[in-house]
Amino acid sequence: MRIDSTKERQYLENVFAKLGFTDEGGKLLADTLVDADLRGISSHGIQRLAWYQRMIKEGTIQPQNHAKIVRELPGTVLVDANQNMGQLAAVLGMKKIIEKAKKTGVAIAVIRNSNHFGTAGYYARLALKAGLVGIALTNTRPLVVPTNATQAFLGSNAFAFGFPASPHPFMFDGATCVVSGGKIQVHAKNGENLPGEWAVDKKRQVVSNAAQAEDILATAAFTEGEQKGGGVLTLGGKDEVNGNYKGMGNSIVIELLTGILAQGSISADTVKGNHDFSQFLMAFDPAFFGDPATLAADATEMFNRIRHLDHVPGRKIWIPGDREYRLLAENKTKGVLIDKKTYEEMQEIGQELGVDVPD
Amino acid sequence: MRIDSTKERQYLENVFAKLGFTDEGGKLLADTLVDADLRGISSHGIQRLAWYQRMIKEGTIQPQNHAKIVRELPGTVLVDANQNMGQLAAVLGMKKIIEKAKKTGVAIAVIRNSNHFGTAGYYARLALKAGLVGIALTNTRPLVVPTNATQAFLGSNAFAFGFPASPHPFMFDGATCVVSGGKIQVHAKNGENLPGEWAVDKKRQVVSNAAQAEDILATAAFTEGEQKGGGVLTLGGKDEVNGNYKGMGNSIVIELLTGILAQGSISADTVKGNHDFSQFLMAFDPAFFGDPATLAADATEMFNRIRHLDHVPGRKIWIPGDREYRLLAENKTKGVLIDKKTYEEMQEIGQELGVDVPD
């Protein structure tokens, strides 16, 4: 089913107000979820609401807390999310480094004591809107099995990178492993087999049954101390010979820039009840290096050349961002797609909090 | 055969002096090549010397030119390599941003009009020696085939990232595609088949004959205007279903940060005779985020936990840097490995320039 995004936004703002967030905080959270749904990234849209509510009830999220700047230099910021949602701290951090990067050319922020922050791309786009290049990273629950290992340890660790171009920016945004856990959940929900080398069991054998893979991930992501086995593969797949140690390297780089720099939990330790994710943000001013319009035109020309390379018949070459901006245009008119289970959750939450649910 | 690295260094310094580099420039170039050979990265060691000499003869490299700072802000530097070797400009740029990052917390440099700069890791290690975290990126010749395409367009685009740890730093350094072109050359030289999904032909069929793959790469990397087909795969392999669009995304990010930001050639256009590579460097001060000894200890503990995860029997889990630092210790004692062809080239160059060749 589809819901008009304006109605989705109103519903979310009402819910977040009832859940104890400030007006500003609630509006921002609603915006990040609506934005994800509009871009077709439904794994990070309103379907997360029930989980957010659960974390508030458990006390993992403190909706009235304010994120704060712990320390700053002309190019760096350390932000404490203060156990509230990651979105609130990440917007604070990104705004701060945008300001700094306009003076010094570049700035970075690390966020500690944080939580889920929606799509990483949201913050890279804040930098783009300010005329800058933006990068956002987060660690996650432990889902990913290092090269040759049979246990999950690394996060699916998202990486977003935005660069100005036409008709829309270059927008690379996603998990660093082969696929996100969300994509496996969708296959499980639809009773489909997994089509590629996505997940392995505790013997490092590829799992093609989506429900089995989902079980493996749920155990890896949420159980402490038990003997766990299997998980999602690093980019490069099952075998070392195809470079999966490079995928592992990329994942470890994000562990270092988030959990380690923030002195929070690494992904492997987010199962210990504290659920403290960490984030890393960066912005720099392309205008320092050349005329921004020229740089965007050069990037656009490169993308067009790639899109038109000789290719396998019947296949298309997509540039990161192409799908997302196409869906954004479509969903703004048609409304965002909501699955049945999520709509039921919206109804339950609406009833519990006395908030009208859009039809 | 093995050569004592002190003798290799002396030989290289003598050769570079005869080739017209300044004393300082020649010593630095020698150091980067010896350092690569010591770390077992022979593809970026003395075996590049004959190629460097050829580029000097062709006028592509101007050994007497000085790299210069074009422009700077408190956190950013634009460097012009002035058509000399990339090493000279990259050391200038990295030293400059180390200085800046110690004041502002973070700094980046972009290098234009550059050339081959050896291993990207060399510059990340300069940052590490100064107590900072270091990143270095370069574009390359066009070798890599985007998702669904049948032609090479992207560079093999190296990414190096160094982070303090014990007993040696985390050192991730390599091509962003499945394998470097150098690794395919080694298999061709040894008459071995390619063991994985490394390269494809113009129908995007995997090529297992190393000599055929080497031909494909040579054509892709050095021919302008002809109908070219095939090349190295992006990380993620042949099929879109295994996430090779993420590998493509990583490669494009480096194209944007190097050729586009530098307003030089993108990898695809380095075949047009100008051979101008571009580089991107970054350094930031981890001490801003926490006590450096604690951060290094936390990283070390994470690496040790990964090394000791349950794993496939008979297989080992390596952390990026483990192999390199093991070889460094070994080769310092035993000498660096030089293959027969490279030694012959060393003799020819020695004879031509009147430089003694080590036994």
Contacts of B71 in chain A (CB under 8 A): 288
pLDDT for the residue numbered B275: 75
Dist CA B263 CA B255 (whole Å): 11
Are A241 and A272 found together in one domain?
yes
In chain A, positions 19-58, which contact chain B (CB-CB < 8 Å)?
A: none
Smallest Cβ–Cβ distance between B76 and the set A106, A178, A237 belongs to A106
Structure confidence at residue B295 (pLDDT): 98
Asked whether the beta carbons of B119 and B279 are under 8 A apart, the reply is no
B86 with B109, same domain: the answer is yes
Same-domain pairing of A224 and A291: yes
Among candidates A83, A115, A79, A82, which has minimal Cα distance to A97? Answer: A79
B181 and B227 fall within a common domain: yes
Task: Tell me which residues of chain B, numbers 292 to 311, contact chain A at a CB-CB cutoff of 8 Å.
Answer: 294-295, 298-299, 302, 305-306, 309-311
Give the 3-state secondary structure of residue A354: coil
Considering the domain architecture, whether residues A147 and A125 belong to the same structural domain is answered as yes
pLDDT score of A155: 97
Q: Which of B57, B55, B53, B62 shows the shortest CA–CA distance to B83? A: B62
Confidence band, pLDDT 50/70/90 cuts, at residue B228: confident
What tokens were used for B227? 């109908």
Question: pLDDT tens, B193-214?
Answer: 999 999 999 999 999 999 999 9
Please give the pLDDT value at position B137.
98
CATH (domain of B177): 3.30.1370.60
> What's the CATH number where B347 sits?
1.10.1530.10
Q: Report the distance separating Cα B97 and Cα B76, nearest Å.
A: 7
**Range with the lowest mean pLDDT among A109-113, A130-134, B187-191, B353-357?**
B187-191
| Other C-beta atoms lying within 10 Å of the C-beta of residue A65 | 19
ipTM, two decimals: 0.97
Residue numbers of the domain that contains B49: 1-64+321-359
E strands present in A65-132: 68-72, 76-80, 106-114
**Are B204 and B112 in a shared domain?**
yes
Residues in chain A with CB shorter than 8 Å from the CB of B306 are: 146, 149, 153-154, 252
Determine, yes or no, domain membership for A313: no
pTM reported for the whole predicted model: 0.97
Residue B315: inside a domain = no
First-to-final CA distance of chain B: 10
Does any CB of chain A come closer than 8 Å to the CB of residue B107?
yes
pLDDT per residue as tens digits for the range B284-314: 999 999 999 999 999 999 999 999 999 999 9
Nearest C-alpha in A relative to B309: A149
Whether residues B43 and B78 share a domain: the answer is no
In a domain, B55, yes or no: yes
Note whether A284 contacts B: Cβ–Cβ < 8 A. yes
Q: Which residues contact B149 (CB under 8 A, 6 or more apart)?
A: A306, A309, A310, A311, A312, A317, B204
The verdict on A329 and A213 lying in the same domain is no
How many distinct structural domains can be found in chain A? 2
Mean pLDDT by 10 residues, chain A (359 residues): 97 98 98 97 92 94 97 98 97 98 98 96 98 98 97 97 98 96 87 94 97 94 79 97 97 98 96 87 98 98 97 96 97 95 95 95
pLDDT at B224 over 80: no
Mean pLDDT of chain A: 96
Same domain, yes or no: B270 and B165: yes
Residue A100 main-chain phi, psi, to 5 deg: -65, -45
